[in-house]
Amino acid sequence: MKKILIIEDNIKIRNELSIFLTQNGYTCDAPEDFAHIIEYSISSKSHLILLDINLPIYDGYYICREIRKQSDVPIIVVTSRDSEIDELTAMNLGADDFITKPYNTQILLARISSVFKRVYKENVTDKFDCGSFTINLSKSEIDYDGVKIDLTKNELKILTGLYEKRYSIVSRDELMAHLWDSEMFVDDNTLTVNINRLRKKLEDAGLKNVIETKRGQGYMLE
Partner 1 sequence: MKLKEYLSEKISYIITHFTVAMITGAILWALIPIGSLYIIVLVEVPYIVGACIPLVIEFNKKRVFYNNLIFVFENFDRKTLVAELVKAPDFREGIILYDVLKGTNKAYLEEINKYKNMQEEYRQYIELWVHEVKTPIASTKLLIQNNKNKVTSSILEEIEKIERYVEQTMFYSKLNSVEKDYIIKEVKLHELCNSVIKKNSKDFIQKNISVVTENLDVTAFCDTKWLEYIVNQIVINAIKYSNKNGAKIVFEAAQFENSVVLTIEDNGIGIPESDIGRIFDKGFTGINGRAYEKTSGMGLYICKMLCDKLGLFISAESQKDSTKIRITLPKNSMTEIV
- Near partner 1 by CB under 8 A: residue from 6, 51, 176, 211: 176
180 lines the binding site for partner 1 (CB under 8 A): yes
Pick out residues in 112-141 that bind partner 1 (CB under 8 A). Answer: none
**Pick from 215, 220, 179: which is nearest to 187 by CA?**
179
Pick out residues in 63-102 that bind partner 1 (CB under 8 A). Answer: 80-85, 101-102
The span of 19-27, 36-44, 60-68, 129-137 binding partner 1 (CB under 8 A) equals: 19-27
185 lines the binding site for partner 1 (CB under 8 A): yes
16 lines the binding site for partner 1 (CB under 8 A): yes
153 lines the binding site for partner 1 (CB under 8 A): no
- Near partner 1 by CB under 8 A: residue from 58, 103, 128, 163: 103
Residues in contact with partner 1 by CB under 8 A are: 10, 12-13, 16-17, 19-20, 23, 54, 80-85, 101-105, 173, 176-177, 180-181, 183, 185, 187-188, 190
